Amino acid sequence: MAHTGLPFDDFRELLANLPGPDAAAVKAVRDRDQFLTKPPGALGRLEDIAEWLAAWTGRPPAVTRPLVAVFAGNHGVTRQGVSPFPSDVTAQMVANFSAGGAAINQICITNDLGLKVFDLALELPTGDITEEPAMDERACAATMAFGMESIAGGTDLLCIGEMGIGNTTIAAAIFYALYGGAAQDWTGPGTGAHGEGLQRKIDAVERAVTLHKAHLGDPLEVLRRLGGREIAAMAGAILAARVEKIPVIVDGYVATAAAAVLHAANPSALDHCMIGHVSAEPGHIKAVEKLGKTPLLSLGMRLGEGTGAALAAGIVKAAAQCHTGMATFEQAGVSDKS
């Protein structure tokens, strides 16, 4: 692709030249697994997770600096009455994260995970997608770049989450634009929209995608026209993690929308990612299936905040510890199969 000097060009280049997995590290895991004190395959998906960690870090499975990154943004589409909560709640919840009072704080404490929260210009909502693009290209690219910087302090397992009143409407519009069907296929209750409120969400998603339909063949245009700052930042974080060989756990419905944009641009873009859980939001399992993924957990959750990804991180940590800490038959003095 010719370089035009447009803000998205660098991201298009990154997406076209993504690093692959470390085959030698995967082989080393498989070789060691044959001698561990368990029957082959007895740990099920935990064994797959150990291989996944090795593939994307290039070393024996280990999680020593896990990080949950929560991105918060506000949305102009809330003017359409798509959420029962006011946009002020976004900033209030960010303050709650900072004070340690939210669900994500408790899960991070339980699983010994780092937590960073990023406030993305909450006082300046994005454009109302039913009337105009959410962002121009420069602003969207800058927000993706900001998301890329979220891993600057170093991590070896990134969990991405979000906070933003109205962002299940935004996610529904992205999925509808990428995958088609009908607006109601992708639009669920979110934080509690039912009856007339849910119908307003569906109508807003339909109007937004109709307004921008001439430009929705390009996934990055989908992101900047229909997305939000937190979604653009999550997309940037996922992309940066791939470049830096950091495995990623994606949270729920909204975080998956950010991942879906990258997948639409390059089907291999999420090979380093795991979907932490399937949300109770009705469209989430359909979206996950489009990505060819199998969620790790199914707990009926729909909170966001990175909570499902953070819970899944505990399982990923256990998978790494089982592989590296378990004794071999010889070490344990246990008879192997004859």
Is 305 part of the annotated catalytic residue set?
yes
What residues does 117 pair with on adjacent strands?
70
Q: What separation in angstroms does the CA of 53 have from each of 20, 56, 191, 203, 321?
A: 13, 5, 33, 42, 11
3-state helix, strand, coil in the chain (%, to 5): 50, 10, 40
Angle at which helices 45-57 and 307-325 pack, to 10 degrees? 90
82 near 197, Cβ under 8 Å? yes
Rounded CA gap, 302 and 305, in Å? 9
Cβ-proximal residues to 11 (8 Å cutoff; 6+ apart), any chain: 141, 144, 220, 239
Q: Environment class of residue 254 by beta-carbon count within 10 Å: exposed (0-12), middle (13-18) or buried (19+)?
A: buried
158: three-class secondary structure by DSSP: strand
Task: Please report, in angstroms and rounded to a whole number, the separation of the first and last CA atoms in the chain.
Answer: 58
Residue 126 phi/psi, 5-degree rounding, is -65, 170
Rounded to 5 degrees, what are φ and ψ at 199?
A: -65, -35
Q: Active-site residue among 221, 230, 244, 305?
A: 305
Q: Are 172 and 200 in contact (CB under 8 A)?
A: no
> Contact, 102 vs 96, CB < 8 A?
yes
Residues annotated as catalytic (active site), given as ranges = 305
